[in-house]
Amino acid sequence: MRLLVVGSVALDSVRTPFGEVKNALGGSAVYAAYSASFFTSVDLVGVAGEDFPSEYLKLLKERSIDLTGLQIKKGKTFSWSGEYASNLNQCQTLSTCLNLFKSFRPEVPPKYSDDKFAFLGNIDPELQLMVYRQLKNPHLLAADSMNFWIERKKKQLVNLLKYIDLFLLNDGETRDFSNEYNLRKAAKYVLSLGPKIFVVKKGEHGVIAFLKNGSFFSLPAYPLKIIADPTGAGDVFGGALMGYLARCPKLNKTSIYQGIIWGSIMASYNVEAFSLNRLLTLKDKDLKKRYQEFKKIGGRSSSVEHQLPKLDRRVQFPSPAPN
Ligand code: AMP
C-alpha cells in the first residue's frame, strides 16, 4: 500500500567533527520519504520555495516519490542549521528558519486521500493534524516530533496524539515531553494519550518499542565504523519502519519488530555520509549485507537472534518500490 509522508522539506547546514555542508538536501519529509521508497510507493506533502534546487527534486523523482502534494511557492524554503560536537548523539540547533512553513497549509491531493498509511514527520503538530483530517480512512498513522515543537506546541502535540497509532521520539525528547526521566514511566504516559505503539530512538544505543498491552522490546544499533553526520537518522528510521509496515499483510509484534530492524538498517547507512548522500548510492546488496550483520549483533544464542523473523522475501529486493 502507498505511504503518505508529510514533514519539512529543507535546506540544511550541518557541521560535525567530520566536515560540514551548507544548504544540503534535508528535512523530515525528505529523509522519511526517501527511506520509505525502498519499501513501498510514497506520496509526499510539503512545501518548498523557488530557491529549492531542481536537482534535489530530481533525486526524489528518481525514487518515484509522488510530488503532486509538494507545493512550490514564492519565498524561501525552510532552513535549519545544526552542529554536532564529539558526542554525535547530541545535536545543537544553531538556527531554524520556518520561512514558508509559517504560512503553509498542507493540502492532501485527492489521489492521496485514500492512503491507508501515513507518516506525519516532524513538523508543527497543528499541520500534522490538518493532514490527518484530510485522510479518509487511515489504517496506521505514525507521527514524529522534536524539542522545537514540544517546547512551543506541547498542548497541540498532546491533542494530536489522540489520533496517532505509532509515535516516535528520541530519548531526550521523550524525557522532555513527559517530564519523566524513567523511559518506562515516560512510555506509560505517552501511551495513555492515545498511541498504541511508542518507539524511543536512542541513537547509537538503539531503539526501545513500548506497546499498549504493556510489552516492550529493544534492538541495539549497528556499531558503525564510520559516522559522518547523524542528521535525519530518526526520520530515515521512521520512514523505513512505516514503508515496511505499509507493505506487510498484517500488523503484529513480528511485523513491528521487523520494521524496526529495517528502520535501524536504513538509519545506520544514512549516518555514514552527510545529507542523503549515502542513501543515494545504496544498493539492494548493501541492505542484505547489513541485515545479515544485524543478526550477528546479539550473537547466536541471544534473544535478538531468536526473535529475528525470517527476512521477508519481498523486502529482499526493495527497490524499485512496488505498487
Ligand atoms: P533528525 O536528525 O532526525 O532530528 O532530523 C533532522 C531534520 O529535521 C533536518 O533535515 C531538518 O531540516 C529537520 N528539522 C529540524 N528542525 C525542524 C523543525 N523544527 N521542524 C521540522 N523539521 C525540522
pLDDT digits (tens, 9 = 90+) for 67-116: 999 999 999 999 999 999 877 878 899 999 999 999 999 999 999 999 99
Residue 80 is predicted with a pLDDT of 97
Ligand 1 pocket residue status of 21, Cβ below 6 Å: no
Report CA(255)–ligand 1 centroid distance (Å): 27
How much is the mean pLDDT over the chain? 90
Each domain of the chain, given as residue ranges in start order, spans: 3-313
Order of strands, sheet of 10-16, starting from the edge strand that comes earlier in the sequence: 19-26, 10-16, 78-84, 91-97
**CA–CA dist 289, 153 (Å, integer):** 41
Q: What is the DSSP string of 228-259?
A: S--TTHHHHHHHHHHHHHHT-S--SHHHHHHH
Q: Whose CA is nearest to atom 21 of ligand 1?
A: 123
Strand partners, 78: 10
| pTM of the predicted structure, to 2 decimals | 0.91
Spans of the chain below 50 pLDDT: 299-323
Q: DSSP label at 100?
A: G
**CA–CA dist 260, 321 (Å, integer):** 19
Ligand 1 pocket residue status of 123, Cβ below 6 Å: yes
Q: Whose CA is nearest to atom 13 of ligand 1?
A: 27
What is the distance of C-alpha 242 from the center of its chain?
A: 8
CA 96 → CA 37, 92, 289, distances in Å? 27, 11, 37
Tell me the residue type at 313.
R
Choice from 93, 231, 277, 279 to test ligand 1 binding pocket (greatest atom count within 8 A of CB): 231
What ligand 1 atom has the least distance to the C-alpha of 80?
Answer: 12
Ligand 1 pocket residue status of 147, Cβ below 6 Å: no
Ligand 1 pocket residue status of 27, Cβ below 6 Å: yes
CATH of domain 3-313: 3.40.1190.20
Tens-place pLDDT, residues 125-137: 999 999 999 999 9
Residue 306 is predicted with a pLDDT of 37
Burial of 283 (0-12, 13-18, 19+ CB in 10 A): exposed
The residue whose grid cell reads 544464542 is 301
Considering only CA atoms, which of 319, 181, 202 is closest in space to residue 267? 202
Cβ count near 3 (within 10 Å): 29
Considering only CA atoms, which of 183, 175, 243 is closest in space to residue 210? 183
Residue 301 is predicted with a pLDDT of 35
- What cell does 252 get? 503484529
The residue whose grid cell reads 507521527 is 143
Report CA(27)–ligand 1 centroid distance (Å): 5
Residue 272 is predicted with a pLDDT of 96
**CA–CA dist 291, 276 (Å, integer):** 20
- What cell does 157 get? 502535540
Tell me the residue type at 88.
L
Residue 253 is predicted with a pLDDT of 85
Q: Whose CA is nearest to atom 11 of ligand 1?
A: 27
Angle between helices 183-192 and 171-178 (to 10 degrees): 60
Residue 280 is predicted with a pLDDT of 97
| Under 8 Å between Cβ of 248 and 116 | no
